[in-house]
Amino acid sequence: MKTFEAEVTYKPLSPPKVGLGYQGFDPRVEVLPKGWSKDGKKPLTCDILVEHDVGYKVRDGVTLYADILRPPTGKVPALVCWSPFGKKFNGLDALKLMAPFNLGLSDDALSGLEKFEGPDPAFWVEKGYAIVNVDNRGSFDSEGSCAVLGSQEGEDGHDVIERIAKEPWCSGSVGMAGNSHLAQSQWFIAAQRPPSLKAIAPWEGCADMFRETFVRGGIYCADLFDELISKYVIHGREIESIRAMFDKYPLANDYWNDKRADIGNINIPTYITGTWSNTMHGMGAIRGWLQVDTSEKWLRFHPYQEWYDLWGVPESNQELLKFFDRYLKGIENGWESTPRVRMALLKFGQTPSVAGVVEEDFPIPNTNYTKAYLSPNEKLTFDKPTSGSALSYSATSQTDFLKFTHTFDKATRILGIPKAVLYMSCNEHDDMDIFVIIRKLSAAGEPMLCLNVPWEGLPVKTFDEIPEKLRTEVILYKGPTGILRASQRAIDHGQSMHANWPFHPHDREERIPPGKVVKVEIGIWATGIEFEAGEGVQFEIAGHFRGVSNFGKPEHVKNQGRHNVHIGGDYDSHVILPFS
């Protein structure tokens, strides 16, 4: 087991119980015949041989267990799907628990054999692939203690892949696929360079768990993991306690930095996807594109929620098949002519978003990074105000915020990575937790929402019809956000992947004397938004999260008093907008 200078604290997991796919530990082999259907779900179009609870021993003697779903005869490539969520916890059951309106997907959209956030064997086995669903270390019946990503998962994945490649049914070529954890694990495993891993498809994968998920901007944001995922989704023996580790080690150290993938060590064909509306994975997709050490790479940002793109867009599956056919089977199918970069532009409101916008690269060459200055009268202007002033908001309020707007006089698109550069002070405290967001305004000046799935499949036709309890980030998007604790404002420019996405080491605090004005640079998650003439943009600053939903509770915010934002004169507070 990987060790660190920091002592790792674990917490017990609830033991797995039969239900939600889990059938108990029962190694066996069966053949599901063509036409087989699970509870009215998608029927199989071919026979599938299923090997249940196959054990793979890794380098420290721990055994991990997998289910293998493959053609009954012949040698085929393997697609490994790696996560702690249960190899039989399937997508349709997960959608019913987590996704409003099932994202508009019908009950027969999937076979029920797919691992949550993974590809459906009903499609892939017929195409001549094996799906290997692995329960990582410490989850369900796999031995050991559950590490939450990092180099331990990378090493385990390396060892399991090399053993799978030697199976008598395997052609020796292995790939990896899936969303979220199944994508995140690919960054860590591929960085270990297992020889038999020939291609990866990290579709929506965060690559720095500390900065992008658990401790955003220096503020604890892991309540979703603590109170939902590690309590009700992951079962097994024990798991790293993210909350206990933060309580002991609130600043970055060797433990936390181990959860930042070494993407530059990946040198195999890589097909990456992302979406602007997911505030967990988008920046990992971009760093993946920028840092993988291969020319055989593709980036596709789409306009949908990640599960919808994986399971609800047939073209996505067909394209992924073409990618793996090229690199796992060696078929000369013209995959290389696929555009290297495709973007999405979100329209917001009732208007469908635009997919498949072909670009030369990302960030887009010749992007016009424009300073929009915070100005009096709640305006964003492209000329710096000459006279200085200060505006303020209650830092402890859950409703108070500052806003600055601009109306476009012609069609405009913001596509890329924005950044806020603010001069701020607080008279009552020596720190500030700062939250920013960019909103789209209608021609009437009202903030707009974007739906993350097509309207056609939903039982509602307007945003007002969506019940409050279903108004989650899964289906709704307000706009890109940024978060920073001001005492952790230090920047390591050498590790910043882009000038507008500063890398904060988060390894020290620089407290601020009350009343002192400091400059803070806040990276804002990348976005792609199209505006018509008469529509506008609104930049907001607050002491609380302004997006649809957050992964951390307000109790983790340590604000006091009022925050002052200094504009004009000596203080050119502004937001950099990427016009393209």
Residue 548's domain is classified under what CATH number?
Answer: 2.60.120.260
Q: What number of other Cβ atoms are within 10 A of residue 569's Cβ? A: 13
Q: In what side-by-side order are the strands of the sheet with 341-345? A: 28-32, 48-57, 63-70, 130-135, 76-83, 170-179, 197-203, 270-275, 297-302, 341-345, 354-359
CA distance linking residue 51 with residue 132, whole number of Å: 9
Q: Are 160 and 56 in contact (CB under 8 A)?
A: yes
Q: Which of these, 264, 246, 263, lies nearest to 255 by C-alpha position?
A: 246
- Average the pLDDT over 344-365 and give the result: 97
CATH code for position 241: 3.40.50.1820
CA distance linking residue 341 with residue 133, whole number of Å: 29
User: What are the two backbone dihedrals, phi and then psi, of residue 562, each rounded to the nearest 5 degrees?
Assistant: -120, 150
Q: How far is CA 562 from CA 515, 565, 569, in A?
A: 11, 10, 21
Residue at 304 is within a domain: no
CA 568 to chain centre: 36
Domain boundary among 239, 259, 279: 259
Q: What number of other Cβ atoms are within 10 A of residue 276's Cβ? A: 25
pLDDT of residue 278: 87
CA distance linking residue 134 with residue 86, whole number of Å: 8
Residue at 503 is within a domain: yes
pLDDT of residue 280: 87
What's the pTM? Answer: 0.97
Domain boundary among 259, 274, 297: 259
Q: Which residues have C-beta within 8 Å of that of residue 273, sequence separation ≥ 6?
A: 201, 202, 203, 204, 285, 299, 300, 301, 302, 306, 309
Is the pLDDT reported for residue 216 higher than 90? yes
CA distance linking residue 548 with residue 471, whole number of Å: 8
| Per-residue pLDDT tens over the stretch 407-461 | 999 999 999 999 999 999 999 999 999 999 999 999 999 999 999 999 999 999 9
Q: Is there a single domain that holds both residue 205 and residue 67?
A: yes
- Average the pLDDT over 272-287 and give the result: 94
Q: Are 513 and 430 in contact (CB under 8 A)?
A: yes
Q: Is there a single domain that holds both residue 433 and residue 566?
A: yes
Residue at 307 is within a domain: no
Please give the tally of structural domains in the chain: 2
DSSP track, 511-551:
---TT--EEEEEE---EEEEE-TT-EEEEEEESS--SS--S
Is the pLDDT reported for residue 551 higher than 80? no
pLDDT of residue 552: 80
Is the pLDDT reported for residue 6 higher than 90? yes
| Per-residue pLDDT tens over the stretch 97-109 | 999 999 999 989 9
Q: Is there a single domain that holds both residue 372 and residue 250?
A: no
Residue at 342 is within a domain: no
CA distance linking residue 212 with residue 325, whole number of Å: 32
Mean pLDDT (the chain) is 96
Q: Is there a single domain that holds both residue 378 and residue 251?
A: no
Q: Is there a single domain that holds both residue 389 and residue 533?
A: yes
pLDDT of residue 39: 86
Q: How far is CA 387 from CA 374, 541, 566, 571, in A?
A: 12, 21, 11, 10
Q: Per the structure block, which two tokens stand in for 43? A: 């029927």
CA distance linking residue 230 with residue 223, whole number of Å: 10
Tokens 């990074």 correspond to what residue? 369
Is the pLDDT reported for residue 228 higher than 90? no
Q: DSSP secondary-structure letter at 101?
A: G
Q: What number of other Cβ atoms are within 10 A of residue 49's Cβ? A: 17
- Average the pLDDT over 129-145 and give the result: 98
Q: Are 207 and 185 in contact (CB under 8 A)?
A: no
Residue at 334 is within a domain: no
pLDDT of residue 502: 98
CA distance linking residue 546 with residue 107, whole number of Å: 34
pLDDT of residue 1: 86
Residue at 249 is within a domain: yes
| Per-residue pLDDT tens over the stretch 467-477 | 999 999 999 99
Residue at 346 is within a domain: no
At 550, the pLDDT band (50, 70, 90 cuts) reads: low
- Average the pLDDT over 221-234 and give the result: 90
pLDDT of residue 549: 80
Q: Per the structure block, which two tokens stand in for 373? A: 């200055």
Sequence-ordered strand ranges (E) for 308-411: 341-345, 354-359, 368-375, 379-381, 389-394, 401-407
CA 429 to chain centre: 33
Q: Per the structure block, which two tokens stand in for 579? A: 């016009």
Q: How far is CA 146 from CA 55, 220, 226, 530, in A?
A: 16, 21, 14, 43
CA distance linking residue 132 with residue 165, whole number of Å: 11
Q: Are 457 and 103 in contact (CB under 8 A)?
A: yes
DSSP 3-state assignment of 1? coil
CA distance linking residue 261 with residue 270, whole number of Å: 15
Q: Is there a single domain that holds both residue 239 and residue 378?
A: no
Q: Is there a single domain that holds both residue 389 and residue 516?
A: yes
DSSP 3-state assignment of 163? helix
Q: Are 303 and 354 in contact (CB under 8 A)?
A: yes
Domain boundary among 243, 259, 275: 259
Tokens 């799978």 correspond to what residue? 164
CA 114 to chain centre: 20
Residues of the chain with pLDDT > 70: what percent?
Answer: 100
CA distance linking residue 503 with residue 491, whole number of Å: 6
Q: Per the structure block, which two tokens stand in for 543? A: 């002491």
Q: Which residues have C-beta within 8 Å of that of residue 254, sequence separation ≥ 6?
A: 4, 5, 6
| Per-residue pLDDT tens over the stretch 480-537 | 999 999 999 999 999 999 999 999 999 999 999 999 999 999 999 999 999 999 999 9
Q: Which domain holds residue 568?
A: 368-579
Residue at 322 is within a domain: no
